[in-house]
Amino acid sequence: MGVTVWRWTAGVVVGCSAIAALLLPFPPTVPEAWTSRAPAPLASELAALTQVAGEGQASVHAYRAAQALDRWSATRAGGDTALVRFDRNVPPTLAGKARSLVLEQWTALAIPVSARNAEVFVYVDSTPIPTADNAAASRRWLEPGQLLDIAYALPAATDGNKCVALVRLRGVSDAHVDALRGSPLPGICGFYAAFGLPGTAIRDWLAASNFRFARRSDWSVARAPVTDASALYGLHDAAARCLTGDPHACRSALGLEAQSAVRELRRGRLEWVLDATTPTTATAPAFLGDADEELLADAVRSVGAERFARFWRSPLGPDSAFGGAAGTAIEPWTQRWLTRVYGALPPRPRARKSDLLWLSIALTVGLFVARRPRERVLA
């Protein structure tokens, strides 16, 4: 029996595939593994070491926070309305330079601010914390070497009404003053200085993310356009789906669906002191990507200071408060914010008219060839 052209072609393809599978050096398939390949005893010790290191850093943070709050309390004066306060151990010359630098940053907010609910407290402390009793000989310290540290004590950690930026200078040289000049000092306290105390529901919503959405108060600074087109591919699932316009995903990314806000009574006093040097990814997941600490600062720029103040002080939940103050729902606004920050999604591939034309021609030719009488190939 003769062999048709189609069967002849299929046989050649199958034969070539079999020969290629036998001769080509295909590498063995190795399953991907994201876990450590260390032996079980070593992996257990590494996990224990990581836990101990985390506990050590938490202890250092608690000690520094308690020390700074004690110094701040000792320098408080009744009816003082200063936006910047200094500890007694700050030299007068340094205090004069630092005062002008801090006031410049308060003025740069471009919104009238008040010392009623916020201030900056500067103190000097160069004492290190050793890793062990013999650390003085080995010169190894538990804290990383840097010129200054900044932490933000929220009202629950101070007097119930004031957010205090705790600035610890580790020396009094010109280098420490320069470091003070280059550091963003107001931080989250800028919101308290400009808009007062947040509503209870707003505060609880922010506390659920460890105040990640309000870490920066640089609403007066123009935001740079998107420069890394691949940044949107690093978004988590909810934020990525929110970028496509899914309102339920936007609510999930904002933490509005999970009503698990951290209440004030469930946290100790020192837990309301936020360390500015700790990466935000170490304290809370990146709900809206690495730029989500700019969310509320961009909201001030977008809706205006007056409307944002109504949202900030509203007794309603974040979604209702934002809709009432801004005149738009928070879900589509967040989707537009993601587009501005991370860039729009690439357009979906679409068939062009020329593609459809060539496809039609190819199908016509294929049908014409298939309908032709089959010819036998002589053996």
Length of the chain: 379
Same domain, 178 and 288: no
Same domain, 261 and 190: no
Q: How far is CA 324 from CA 207, 313, 336, in A?
A: 22, 12, 18
Q: Is residue 361 part of a domain?
A: no
Same domain, 177 and 306: no
What is the per-residue pLDDT across 132-142, written as a single tens digit (0 to 9) for each?
A: 655 454 556 67
- C-beta neighbour count of 287 within 10 angstroms: 21
Q: Encoding tokens for residue 164? A: 């205090």
Q: Is residue 137 part of a domain?
A: no
Same domain, 190 and 203: no
Q: Is residue 24 part of a domain?
A: no
Same domain, 177 and 203: no
pLDDT by residue for the chain (379 residues), tens digit each?
455 656 656 665 666 666 655 555 555 655 555 555 667 777 787 788 778 777 777 888 888 899 999 999 988 765 566 899 999 999 999 999 999 999 999 999 989 999 999 999 999 998 887 766 554 545 566 777 788 999 999 999 998 999 999 999 999 998 998 898 888 899 999 999 999 999 999 999 999 888 999 999 999 988 877 767 677 777 888 998 998 889 999 999 999 876 544 444 457 888 899 987 665 444 445 678 888 899 999 999 999 999 999 999 999 999 999 999 999 999 999 999 999 888 877 666 665 666 666 766 776 766 666 655 555 555 4
Residue where a domain stops, chosen among 197, 219, 244: 197
Q: Is residue 372 part of a domain?
A: no
Same domain, 189 and 234: no
Q: Is residue 371 part of a domain?
A: no
Same domain, 163 and 222: no
- Cβ(324)–Cβ(309) below 8 Å: no
Residues 6+ apart with CB under 8 A from 368: none
pLDDT at 288: 85
- C-beta neighbour count of 129 within 10 angstroms: 13
Residue where a domain stops, chosen among 197, 215, 244: 197
What is the per-residue pLDDT across 215-237, written as a single tens digit (0 to 9) for each?
A: 999 999 888 777 676 777 778 88
Residues 6+ apart with CB under 8 A from 106: 83, 84, 113, 120, 186, 193
Same domain, 214 and 290: yes
Q: Is residue 373 part of a domain?
A: no
Where in the chain does DSSP place strands (E)?
A: 84-86, 118-124, 148-153, 163-169, 273-275
Same domain, 242 and 331: yes
Residue where a domain stops, chosen among 180, 197, 214: 197
Q: Which residue has the tokens 């320069």?
A: 178
Same domain, 313 and 326: yes
Task: Report the Cα 319 to chain-centroid distance in Å.
Answer: 20
Residues 6+ apart with CB under 8 A from 8: 377
| Residue 148 exposed, middle or buried by CB count within 10 Å (0-12, 13-18, 19+) | buried
Q: Is residue 155 part of a domain?
A: yes
Domain interval for residue 164: 50-131+142-197
Q: Is residue 40 part of a domain?
A: no
Question: What CA–CA distance (Å, rounded) separates 244 from 332?
Answer: 10
Cα dihedral angle (80, 86, 87, 92), rounded to 10 degrees?
Answer: -120
How many folded domains does the chain comprise? 2
Rg (Cα) of the chain, in Å, rounded? 31
pLDDT at 47: 80
The per-type count for the chain, helices as H runs and strands as E runs, is 14, 5
Q: How far is CA 45 from CA 33, 39, 124, 140, 344, in A?
A: 20, 10, 38, 22, 45
Same domain, 187 and 56: yes
What is the per-residue pLDDT across 321-378, written as a single tens digit (0 to 9) for each?
A: 999 999 999 999 999 999 988 887 766 666 566 666 676 677 676 666 665 555 555 5
Q: Encoding tokens for residue 283? A: 């304290």
Question: What CA–CA distance (Å, rounded) separates 60 from 62?
Answer: 5
Same domain, 234 and 343: yes
